[in-house]
Structure 1
Amino acid sequence: MTPTEAALFEAAGPRARRRILIGTIATSLVFAALVVWLLMRLDANGQFDPQYWDLFASVNTWKFLGAGFIGTIRASLSAGVIALVGGLVLMFGRISGIAPVRWLATAVIEFVRGTPTLLFIYFFFLVPSQFGIHMSTYWMVVIPVSFYASAVLAEVYRAGVQAVPAGQREAAESLGLGRWQVYSSVILPQMFRIIVPTMVTQLVVVVKDTTFGYVVTYPEMMQNAKVIVANSTSMLPVYLIVALIYILVNYAISRFARWLSSRSDVKILVA
């Protein structure tokens, strides 16, 4: 049982474990039957015919998907780095002792967290050009994605600050350290240790949000998949392969976050 599960659930007794086992077996059987039925339907409709899968024997297909994968990684990493800094700025605004700054930061965080990333992408796609500002499709994806991730990370940072024992701050202040010295030397180092697993987990959201790049035709993996589908009759196979790649990437990130959590002996916080 992970630290998070231990905090949320009591250890199951013999009867509960029996019910869980029966439920797991029943659910697995239903799921397996559903998968078999789906595969039979696809086979009946000819979706496994070689003509739909031949394109994956071509190196050019994988090169094109690989180029889209690199585009996804570029946008994800850039948005992630910007979000790390932007979230820190918003967090300091949220906990500021100056009321107007605190109100503004809180309003921005709540507004951004409550607004779909896709709407921000449409905004940067349509509005700046009306004022003569021409952005590349790369920034039309990176800025909105990082904007949303910054708001989420601001709350993660704030949770990390609140998780640092109050005695640490009091001890630092008793030594005569100023507010910024307390944060830079005492609070932030401990905060980052606590929230690193959660920060890594947020990369999953960032990677998934980059799939909205198709709206502005940014050449990420989903956009390149659409181009392949438009030039072939292999819609289902292409999207199945792309979905599998996304699942593997996000699963790897999630496992890495859990590994970090176990190494640092901290829970993955939920914003």
Structure 2
Amino acid sequence: MSAVLYDVPGPRAKARNRILNVIVLLAVAGVITWVVLRLNDNGQFQGRRWAQFQYAAIQRELLTGLVNTLRAAGLATVLAMLFGAVFAAGRISDHKWVRMPATLVVELFRAIPLLILMFFFYYGSLEFQLGLTPFHAVVFGLTLYNGSVLAEIFRAGITAVPKGQREAAYATGLRKNQVVRLVLLPQAIRSMLPAIVSQLVVLLKDTALGFIITYNELLYVAKQMGGRLEFGFPYIPTYFVVAVIYIGLCSLLSMLAKYLEGRSRRSRKTTAPPVQIEESTAA
């Protein structure tokens, strides 16, 4: 008995896979235990290093960093989605004079590292006195990089819709923008949603690069908190707390994506078929 891509494992293969899984789990558990013991030997779990988190002022600092992270990520998400939609439309245009520049812009900003874009806006603003703050540099960098990636995701999702859908829409007399907006895009969104959410998770995490240009986000706040002598330079405990915050934010995004995907499936199943009206024949 075989599956589509590989042979179904037999009893011996299944037993061997179970043994390998147990070995891998034990190895991972061993590495985690070793790391925890090493941190404990170095005094990273001492109460002194964790005491700062009980103070309201420290909690407000973390909250300020979290708000700044969400503010930059939220604005960059909106701008990146708009950027991606515009340049994805340009990439699928029938006009070469539109398609070629859009392709050039997308490929250019996909190839430039995000940190270089942030440096360009931040230090370029200082050089030419443009008045851009670290917040603007972070948002513009995130928008250009992630917007170009989203543009490619949108383009790939639209072109992946079966060709028959496009031809049937044109046969009804719709123009291209109507075909894309009314026929292709609603079908493509369901397949694009996981990739879009994955890219937005990357965008959220990439806000941490803003600490290099002194943007007061979570990682920048954590670096300041970890350098306090009175608490024994609690870098690792502080980074643990910040990591948990990032994990929680990314998990919320993933849960939202699953909810939207499930809702789209339910709406598709419950959508009533079009009612066909039969013409009555004259007696």
Scaled to the shorter chain, the TM-score interval is: 0.7 to 0.9
Report how many residues are paired. 259
The more displaced of 171-180 and 66-75 is 171-180
Superposed CA deviations along residues 130-169 of structure 1, whole A, max 9, x for unmatched, are 3331112211111110111111111110121112222222
TM-score (ref. length: structure 1): 0.87
1:44 and 2:41 aligned: yes
Q: Counterpart of 2:239 in structure 1: which amino acid?
A: Y
Deviation at 1:63, TM superposition (A): 1.5
Q: Counterpart of 2:249 in structure 1: which amino acid?
A: V
Number of the residue aligned with 1:252? 252
1:72 and 2:69 aligned: yes
Deviation at 1:10, TM superposition (A): 4.7
Q: For the structure 1 residues 254 and 17, does the alpha-carbon distance in structure 2 shift closer, same or farther, using more than 3 Å as the test?
A: farther
Deviation at 1:29, TM superposition (A): 0.7
Partners of 1:49 and 1:196 in 2: CA distance: 44
Number of the residue aligned with 1:118? 115
Moved over 6 A (4+): none
TM-score (ref. length: structure 2): 0.84
1:178 and 2:175 aligned: yes
Partners of 1:11 and 1:249 in 2: CA distance: 40
Partners of 1:208 and 1:245 in 2: CA distance: 11
Q: Percent identity?
A: 37
The more displaced of 40-49 and 139-148 is 40-49
Superposed CA deviations along residues 180-223 of structure 1, whole A, max 9, x for unmatched, are 22222222222223322322222110111100111221111111
Aligned ranges 1:1-271 → 2 under 5 Å: 10=6, 12-14=8-10, 15-232=12-229, 233-261=233-261, 264=264
Q: Which runs of 5+ in 1 are unaligned?
A: 1-5, 266-271
Partners of 2:40 and 2:76 in 1: CA distance: 41
Deviation at 1:263, TM superposition (A): 5.2
Partners of 2:190 and 2:38 in 1: CA distance: 49
Provide the secondary structure at the position in 1 that maps to 2:244: helix
Deviation at 1:11, TM superposition (A): 7.5
Provide the secondary structure at the position in 2 that maps to 1:135: coil
Q: Counterpart of 2:33 in structure 1: which amino acid?
A: V
More contact order relative to length (CA 8 Å, sep ≥ 6): 1
Q: Counterpart of 1:250 in structure 2: which amino acid?
A: C
RMSD: 2.2
Partners of 2:18 and 2:260 in 1: CA distance: 29
Question: Is the CA contact 1:193–1:264 (under 8 Å) kept in the aligned structure 2?
Answer: yes
Structure with greater Cα Rg? 2
Question: Is the CA contact 1:149–1:206 (under 8 Å) kept in the aligned structure 2?
Answer: yes
Q: Which runs of 5+ in 2 are unaligned?
A: 266-283
Question: Is the CA contact 1:198–1:257 (under 8 Å) kept in the aligned structure 2?
Answer: no
Deviation at 1:258, TM superposition (A): 4.2
Partners of 1:27 and 1:261 in 2: CA distance: 32
Provide the secondary structure at the position in 2 that maps to 1:13: coil
